[in-house]
Amino acid sequence: MNNYILLPIIGLGVLLVAALISNMIKYEGGANPKDPRKRKIVFWLFFVLNPLIAYSVGLAMSPDAGIAKTQHMQSLPVGLGIGVAVYFLLGFAMSKAMKTSKVGNWF
Amino acid sequence: MDDQLYVIGVGGTGMRCLESFVHLCAIGMLDGKEINVLTLDTDANNGNLKRVKDLITSYRRIKSGTVNDGGTPNRNTFFSSKLNYYHYHTNYMKQGKRDNYRNLSNLSGQSSVEDENQMLADLFLDKDTVQVFDLKHGYRAQTHLGSQLMFHGLVEAAKKLAKGTNITDEEKSLGEFIDKLEQSGKNSRVFVFGSVFGGTGASSIPVLPSALKEAIKIKNEGSNLDISDVKFGSTLLTSYFDFNRPNSTQKENSKESVIASATFFPLNSQAALQFYQGDPTVQSVYNKLYHIGWPLPAKKLDDSKKTETITGGADQKNKCHFVELIAACAALDFFTASSVETTGTAKYVFRTGQYENGAFNFSASDLVGVEQNKDQKLISKLGGFLSLAHISLSKNHAGFGEKGFLGLKRHLENQNIDSFKTSITEADLDELDKYMRSFGYSFTDDGAFKSGWIYQIRNSIAPGKFIFTNEAFAMSIKELKGLDVGKLFEDPNYHWESALTLSGRDTYQPWLKRLVNIEVNTEEHQLTHDKEKFIALLHDGIMISQQQQN
């Protein structure tokens, strides 16, 4: 599978993990609860982790040598960029579409 | 036509029983009822009186809409009863004129009738002690004196009301209460809370029905109310608490020559019960008498570190005890019975509880029986209200001085439940928090834990059990903040559905989520304004959660 497909899929997977963890953060009580901030931190933490994870996977999936490897390595940054964009744009869309849910705290 | 309901709390013990009764109304055990509450005391500054007055005031504010009228009765929610509050206290404050029996009776010996009356008084009331002690803190277990004076107090107030001049607030309030009683006539049920071993309650219970009859006759000339048509019930509450004995300084003070001593309470109780069993007047006016006692050694209830007896006043603010809850359930039984027998002879009733290893373990059925599933209703409602108290106090930090219900309301607004945004003010929510602190707990400014009603009730039977787990009564801030509000019950059938979180399973999260999807049925609950709707929303969320199980 090439990087233009693989890395965006990883971005989506990382987004789902961020959503799962955000959902498991309890609503806190009181007039100034801190849980919305915790969920924001989770989103941005995985925003940073996403390219790192994707890059590691991309490296691991690289052919051993030759033109295939060169092409794979050349497409890696582009795939990373798409993966980051997928994470951010889908995350933004989810947050706005599900404003009253826990992921609504992301934005 | 449903009977109109009246509750009279007499004296310190009566006030504490009334406190438990108000909480039973708050949890929703007297759905749809309107109850007229009269506090009757000799001591206007009594700490127990102030506490129950503040509680009833808070209850009424919670229920009121735009006008502070105590709201309307609702169905199947918290705070579902309407409480109308009346108050009366006798006046023994005027030094030299009304401060003791001798000055009040003013038997100056200017006629032969007065001479005879003085001799009669001397026969029953010791002239060097009983006739001269200061009455401002009550009758101090001198029930032979107290019965006469309480009767006199009510009749005197009625005469003033009939005359219509210089009426005090408390006389006006008493007048409104007895007018209402007269109007409802034979469709009335009156329940009297008081002890039989102390001063004011013990003095008043035997004479109240006839005193009320006399007061109505005087105030509303031409009234043809036959008081025997009114159904009366009362607690026969025998000794269950202890307090400091009088010290030598107090005993030497002639104004304090008579001081109630807890040493004699068991004897007083025995004598009182013999009286209630044999007296034909009591037998004929009361329909039902609830004998409530406490067989274990009396617990010391005064908080004070003082080494003298507190005779009354603001310092008399005793902790709550389980028997007061039993007394409140007696009133509940009297009010919710489908009919009250009027055979002309009082019926005596009692309940028992399981006693094991030196402690009582009470079930809900021990308090309210099993008819009409009242026991399950008590577990569900009391547990639900305790959960709500913890939601406010522990989850939303009202117990630690923050604004609990405001935090909850803001959360609901974030979930697009914003119909209460402008109609419920911060002051309204503060009142709810205040009530929950009285019910549950709070922390003082210096960080000390302060038990509210339900904690005190439970502590009075500890290590015995009553419906809830030990965890439901956590006292440290760490335990309270981590408390699971839907798992307070001994019976796991009442536990709420839980969800997995990063710190383990929790019942509060699914409850919050559930609130978003609840449509409150205004008609079914008989709601009239948004405050009641808000409370009904929280109530319905809790009741549904109790029915959903993992």
The nearest alpha carbon in chain A to B399 belongs to A30
The nearest alpha carbon in chain B to A98 belongs to B415
| Cβ contacts of B509 on chain A, cutoff 8 Å | 26-27
Q: Does residue B387 register a pLDDT over 60?
A: yes
Residues B57-111: tens digit of each pLDDT: 999 999 998 788 899 999 999 999 999 999 999 988 777 778 888 888 877 666 7
Report how far residue B16's alpha carbon sits from residue B311's, in angstroms, rounded to the nearest whole number. 16
**pLDDT mean for each 10 residues of chain A (107 residues):** 88 96 93 93 97 92 87 90 96 94 94
Report how far residue A47's alpha carbon sits from residue B132's, in angstroms, rounded to the nearest whole number. 85
The nearest alpha carbon in chain A to B404 belongs to A30
For residues B187-193, average pLDDT: 96
Contacts 24+ apart (CB under 8 A), B354-358: B355/B295
pLDDT of residue B44: 81
For residues B509-515, average pLDDT: 93
Say if the Cβ atoms of B402 and A30 lie within 8 Å: yes
pLDDT of residue B250: 58
Alpha-helical runs (H) found in B243-400: 248-252, 265-278, 280-285, 322-336, 364-368, 374-390
Q: Does residue B173 register a pLDDT over 80?
A: yes
pLDDT of residue B45: 82
Residue with more model confidence, B437 or B282: B437
- Percentage of chain B with pLDDT > 70? 91
Two structure tokens written together for B309? 């007896």
Give the minimum alpha-carbon distance from B22 to chain A in angstroms, rounded to a whole number. Answer: 27
Give the minimum alpha-carbon distance from B62 to chain A in angstroms, rounded to a whole number. Answer: 20
Q: How far is CA B450 from CA B383, B456, B475, B477, in A?
A: 20, 10, 9, 12
Asked if residue B270 lies in contact with residue B215, where contact means CB atoms within 8 angstroms, the answer is no
Q: Does residue B182 register a pLDDT over 90?
A: yes
Q: Which among B396, B502, B508 is the nearest to A24, CB-wise?
A: B502
| Cβ contacts of B395 on chain A, cutoff 8 Å | 29
Q: Does residue B513 register a pLDDT over 60?
A: yes
| Cβ contacts of B391 on chain A, cutoff 8 Å | 29
The lowest-confidence range among B256-265, B270-279, B539-548 is B256-265
The residues, ordered by sequence, that sit 6+ positions from B200 with a Cβ below 8 Å of its Cβ are B10, B11, B12, B14, B40, B41, B42, B43, B138, B139, B146, B150, B194
Say if the Cβ atoms of B508 and A27 lie within 8 Å: yes
pLDDT of residue B134: 81
Q: Does residue B452 register a pLDDT over 80?
A: yes
| Cβ contacts of A100 on chain B, cutoff 8 Å | 414-416, 516
Give the pLDDT band of residue B47 (cuts 50, 70, 90).
confident
The nearest alpha carbon in chain A to B504 belongs to A24
Residues B291-304: tens digit of each pLDDT: 998 888 766 655 55
Pairing of β B34-41 and β B299-300 = unpaired
CA of residue B57 relative to chain centroid, distance: 13
| Cβ contacts of A25 on chain B, cutoff 8 Å | 501-502
The nearest alpha carbon in chain B to A30 belongs to B396
Say if the Cβ atoms of A31 and B506 lie within 8 Å: no
Residues B106-147: tens digit of each pLDDT: 776 667 777 888 888 888 888 888 888 888 767 877 888 899
The nearest alpha carbon in chain B to A24 belongs to B501
Asked if residue B366 lies in contact with residue B470, where contact means CB atoms within 8 angstroms, the answer is no
Map out the domains of chain A as residue ranges. 3-25+34-106
- Phi first, then psi, for residue B245 (nearest 5°) are -75, 155
Report how far residue A91's alpha carbon sits from residue B60's, in angstroms, rounded to the nearest whole number. 48
Q: Which among B407, B500, B506 is the nearest to A33, CB-wise?
A: B407
Say if the Cβ atoms of A24 and B414 lie within 8 Å: no
| Cβ contacts of B503 on chain A, cutoff 8 Å | 26
pTM: 0.91
Report how far residue A90's alpha carbon sits from residue A87's, in angstroms, rounded to the nearest whole number. 6
Residue with more model confidence, B331 or B271: B331
End-to-end CA, chain A: 33
Say if the Cβ atoms of A29 and B503 lie within 8 Å: no
- Phi first, then psi, for residue B362 (nearest 5°) are -100, 140
Q: Which among A25, A26, A100 is the nearest to B416, CB-wise?
A: A100
Residue with more model confidence, B491 or B103: B491
Say if the Cβ atoms of B403 and A31 lie within 8 Å: yes
DSSP-derived letter for residue B468 is B
Q: Does residue B550 register a pLDDT over 60?
A: no
Give the minimum alpha-carbon distance from A30 to chain B in angstroms, rounded to a whole number. Answer: 4
Map out the domains of chain B as residue ranges. 4-92+134-351, 374-547
Helix H, strand E, coil C: the string for chain A is CCHHHHHHHHHHHHHHHHHHHHHHCCCCCCCCCCHHHHHHHHHHHHHHHHHHHHHHHHHHCCCCCHHHHHHHHHHHHHHHHHHHHHHHHHHHHHHHHCCCCHHHHHC
Q: Which among B396, B416, B502 is the nearest to A25, CB-wise?
A: B502
pLDDT of residue B102: 83
Asked if residue B204 lies in contact with residue B147, where contact means CB atoms within 8 angstroms, the answer is yes
Q: List the single best residue of B410, B414, B418, B426 to mutate versus A (max A Cβ within 10 A).
A: B414
pLDDT of residue B348: 87
Asked if residue B199 lies in contact with residue B143, where contact means CB atoms within 8 angstroms, the answer is yes
Asked if residue B253 lies in contact with residue B317, where contact means CB atoms within 8 angstroms, the answer is no
The total of other beta-carbon atoms located within 10 Å of residue B229's CB is 11
Give the pLDDT band of residue B221 (cuts 50, 70, 90).
confident
Where do we find the tokens 């009409």?
Answer: B372
Say if the Cβ atoms of A31 and B391 lie within 8 Å: no
Beta strands in B76-230 (DSSP E): 82-89, 188-193
Residues on chain B bordering chain A, Cβ-to-Cβ distance under 8 angstroms? 391, 394-397, 402-404, 406-408, 410-411, 414-416, 500-503, 506, 508-509, 512, 516
Cross-strand bridge partners of residue B193: B9
Two structure tokens written together for B228? 């025997």
Residue B403, classified by CB atoms within 10 Å of its CB into exposed (0-12), middle (13-18) or buried (19+), is buried
Q: Does residue B198 register a pLDDT over 80?
A: no
Report how far residue B403's alpha carbon sits from residue B427's, in angstroms, rounded to the nearest whole number. 10
Report how far residue B400's alpha carbon sits from residue B403's, in angstroms, rounded to the nearest whole number. 9
Superfamily of domain B4-92+134-351 in CATH is: Tubulin/FtsZ, GTPase domain (3.40.50.1440)
Say if the Cβ atoms of B391 and A29 lie within 8 Å: yes
Q: What is the mean pLDDT of chain B?
A: 88
Say if the Cβ atoms of A100 and B509 lie within 8 Å: no
pLDDT of residue B404: 95
Give the pLDDT band of residue B305 (cuts 50, 70, 90).
low
Residues on chain A bordering chain B, Cβ-to-Cβ distance under 8 angstroms? 21, 24-27, 29-33, 99-100, 104
Give the pLDDT band of residue B282 (cuts 50, 70, 90).
confident
Angle, CA of A45, A49 and A54, to the nearest 5° = 155
In angstroms and rounded to an integer, the radius of gyration of the C-alpha atoms of chain A is: 16
The residues, ordered by sequence, that sit 6+ positions from B30 with a Cβ below 8 Å of its Cβ are B5, B24, B80, B81, B332, B335, B336
For residues B9-38, average pLDDT: 96
